[in-house]
Structure formats: structure tokens, C-alpha cells
Chain A
């Protein structure tokens, strides 16, 4: 019942978005901005870069909503756009500035003015230390509860590759978190 209601709501939202309703788009941003920001952050972008890429993502979604077929969930479709935008931004940056190492170091520059709980932050900090593909797979699987198929669709990778990323990411997280996690829970 609730699934059906949320699906109907989503269909209604898509219709409103297609008709160019700006208040519907404001709702759309409010509903999905957290996920888009999270995607960019997981891929290692800093605050300013994340805002730029998130803006580009929402702009692309606004312009491309007419082409959304409904084959995948709206959130999966948006994650795919955000992932592609963030990856192309990173590639462009690496190509132009050759700062790949700096990009990885920027993980430590992220501000600590977040409202999350400290226990969540310990796990999040560990996730940020993972390689990009593993981190995004972990976030999509555990936080967004996406299926392997959906993650493969977002990352444009095979399902087996995603499983490998998940497995390796999870193993690394175990190493990184060690017994910190036992103490917290």
C-alpha cells in the first residue's frame, strides 16, 4: 500500500516536473539534494566542487526529465546523472591539473560542521578512505539500499565487478574500523 502510494506520488512528481512546474522542481531538489551531495562527497569532491556538480546534475535532470522513461527508479536515474557528472568533473580536473594525489588528500579537508552523530562519522570517515569505486558501491548498497543490478546500472559496470567492489570495500572497512565499531555499538 505504502509502496503504491509512494509510486503514485513519484509519477505525479514526474508529471509536474515534465510540465515545468517550478514548485515541483523545488520539491525534487529538497528530496534528492542529500543523495546528490553524498554521491559527490563519496567520490572525493570538496564543498565548492560538490555544489557545482550538484547544480549541474539538477540542471541536467531538469532538462532531461522528458527523456526519463521510468525504466529505473527516479533516485537511480538521478544517481546515475550525479555519478557521471562527478566522474567527468574528476577526470577533467585530473587531466587539466594532474592533481590526482591532491584529490585523494582532500578527503581530510572536509569540514566537520555536520549534524551527523559521532558514531556515524567514524564509519563515514572510513568509507571516505576507500577507493572511489568501492566507496560509491558501499554507499549505494548500504545507505541507499540499491540492488546490485541498480548499482551496476549507475556505475556502468558489470554486476560481478560491483560485487567485487562491495566485497573489497567491506573487507577494507573491517580493517579500518577494527574494534572501534565494537566499542560504539
Chain B
């Protein structure tokens, strides 16, 4: 074949193949969309069911687990309870002590604010 014939052959191939149409049922797209919608609905339903199962399991398992932990580490639970009871008066005492040292508090606050301002200035973009 001569080069011009080669080119002609390529053009014929291109034209003929472009003219070819595959037969497709008219309702193919509609059926496919319906199938996809059904699959989506099923997925959504599956998700809801899974969430329900998880929440139900959590509703049952969490209290059971908490009770089991309380039995397993009863000493620790008692200790924590004692700490919780003792904590409010302790906080009160700390606040009273700190209020007496208000000057120190002011110095620390000012120093902290100065540091914060320094960091802000350092990290601020130059264009601003």
C-alpha cells in the first residue's frame, strides 16, 4: 500500500467505526437508575440498622462494663470517691491562698500576655 492509501485506509477505519452504533434497549438507563436507587436505599437502611445495633449494644454493654469495673477495682473506686469528696474544700483553700498572693498572679498574667503577644508578632504574616 502506498502512503496515501495508508492514510485513506486510516480515514475509512475512523469513519466506519464512528458510524457504528451499538443497539441499546431504551429502558436500559431507567432500569439502571432504579437499580442504583434501590441499592442506595438498601445501603441507607443497612446503615440505620447498624447504628441501631451499635447504640443498643452500647446501651447494654456500657452499664454492664461500668458495674464490672466497679467490682474488679473496688479499692480504686473507693479511693476515687474519697478524692472527689475531698476535692471541693481543697479547691477552696487554693483559691483563698491565691487571692492572698494577687500581686504574684497579676505579674504572671502580664508575663503570659507579653509572651502571647510576642508569639503573635512572630507568626503574623508580613502582608498584614
Residues in A lying within 8 Å of B, measured CB to CB = 22, 25-26, 29-30, 33-34, 37-38, 41, 47, 50-51, 54-55, 58-59, 62, 111, 113-117, 119-124, 127, 138-139, 142-143, 145, 170, 173-174, 181, 184-185
User: Interface of chain B, helix or strand or loop or mixed?
Assistant: helix
Report, as a range, how many residues of chain B touch the other chain: 20 to 34
A117 to B24, CA, bound (A): 16
Contacts of A116 in B (CB 8 A): 19-21
Q: Is the CB of B33 within 8 A of A33?
A: no
Instruction: Give the residue of A33, A139, A142, A174 whose beta carbon is less than 8 angstroms from that of B29.
Output: A33
- Which residue of A is nearest B40, CB measured? A20
Q: Does B54 contact A (CB under 8 A)?
A: no
B23 & A114 in contact (Cβ 8 Å cutoff): yes
Q: Which of B6-14, B71-79, B82-90, B109-117 has 4 or more CB atoms under 8 Å from chain A? A: B6-14
Asked if B124 is at the interface of the complex by the 8 Å CB criterion, the answer is no
**Contact status B24-A34, CB under 8 Å:** yes
Give the Cβ gap from A49 to chain B, nearest Cβ, in Å: 13
Inter-chain contact B20/A51, CB cutoff 8 Å = no
DSSP class of A's interface residues: helix, strand, loop or mixed?
helix
Top-3 shortest CB links A-B: A123-B16, A120-B19, A143-B17
30 A–B contacts from the bound complex (CB under 8 Å)? A22-B37, A26-B29, A33-B24, A33-B28, A34-B24, A38-B20, A59-B36, A113-B23, A114-B20, A114-B21, A114-B22, A114-B23, A116-B19, A116-B20, A116-B21, A119-B19, A120-B15, A120-B16, A120-B17, A124-B16, A124-B17, A127-B17, A142-B10, A142-B13, A142-B17, A143-B14, A145-B14, A170-B13, A173-B13, A174-B1
Q: Are B19 and A181 in contact (CB under 8 A)?
A: no
Q: A111-B23, A115-B23, A116-B21 are in contact. List 10 more A-B contacts (CB 8 A).
A: A22-B37, A25-B36, A29-B28, A114-B22, A120-B19, A121-B20, A124-B20, A142-B13, A143-B20, A181-B12
